[in-house]
Structure 1
Amino acid sequence: MGIGIIIRDEEGEALVAECDIKNNVVNAAVAESLALRKATDLCSDLNIQKAIFEGDAKEVVEAVLSEEEVVLDFSSIIDDVKFHFRNRTHWFIQFASRKKSTVAHTLAKKALEIGKQLVWIEEVPKFIVGCLLDDTSCNT
């Protein structure tokens, strides 16, 4: 599976872009939860205090928001994500349609193409510039 993460500031400007791969993942919900965990790990490592995470997998978003313990194929991954959220009162998660996250999907596809992890800080790769503008206009 490919993972695509984009971190933006409050004005929509890209701060960090990352693409990565994970092998032997066949379940879409597991893939989405792994990508979310990677995003929360990254934001935690960067000491980002305020964040809104968006995901297009309703099942994953609902599992993170649930107060009850969930029993799913990816429960341990959700527990890791919830741990990050417990310690950060200004982190939120919400469902977003796939059309609002073309940058993340483009990065995920690129990860599959190149077969390795790449991270860009402050400068985004050229192949996502058009998507970044589309996503920004879609989110305003």
Structure 2
Amino acid sequence: MAALAEKIPKPSSIEILEVLAARRAVQFILELGFAHSIFEGDAEIIIKALAEGDCSVSSIGHITKDTESMIGLLQTKSFSHVRRQGNTVAHALAQRARLSFLVLIWMEDVPPDIYLFVSADFPTS
């Protein structure tokens, strides 16, 4: 339905980068006016913290708590940990954001260089 690629200023750790990306995804969902969402991520500690409302991880607890407050605005939500190999669209968007200085948003369209990864996610019958 929509995609976002945005460079996040260099964080101090991978965990902080992952939770900042999750927070930005939630913010994006709310900006678009969606009330239902499925969150997938390959950072198990982040997915688990958001799914269980666990803010005890000290390095990311404050960001997790902020993200959870935004998630609470959604009518329904679910969380799923996926292995990096199952998250190729997100990985391709992250690579694009890493090389860009702009915020890139696509609505009901897929950039040509990302389309291959999106189409691979859909089963053929």
User: 1:124 matched to which residue of 2?
Assistant: 110
- Contiguous gaps of at least 5 residues in structure 1: 1-14
Name the CA distance, whole Å, in 1 between partners of 2:11 and 2:48. 21
Are 2:7 and 2:100, in contact at CA under 8 Å, matched by a contact in 1?
Answer: no
TM-score where L is the length of structure 2: 0.89
TM-score where L is the length of structure 1: 0.80
Asked if 1:111 corresponds to 2:97, the answer is: yes
- Contiguous gaps of at least 5 residues in structure 2: none
Are 1:101 and 1:135, in contact at CA under 8 Å, matched by a contact in 2?
Answer: no
Q: Which has the higher strand share?
A: 1
3-state SS, counterpart of residue 17 of structure 1? strand
- Structure 1 segments of 4+ aligned residues over 3 angstroms from their partners: none
Match of 2:87 among 83, 101, 116: 101
Aligned residues: 125
1:60-104 Cα deviation digits (max 9, x unpaired): 111112345413211111011211222324111121111121111
1:134–1:69 distance in 2 versus 1, CA, 3 Å? same
Name the CA distance, whole Å, in 2 between partners of 1:92 and 1:112. 27
User: 1:40 matched to which residue of 2?
Assistant: 26
3-state SS, counterpart of residue 24 of structure 1? coil
Name the CA distance, whole Å, in 1 between partners of 2:14 and 2:121. 22
Name the CA distance, whole Å, in 1 between partners of 2:5 and 2:44. 22
User: 1:7 matched to which residue of 2?
Assistant: none
Match of 1:25 among 11, 20, 40: 11
User: 1:63 matched to which residue of 2?
Assistant: 49
Are 2:5 and 2:105, in contact at CA under 8 Å, matched by a contact in 1?
Answer: yes
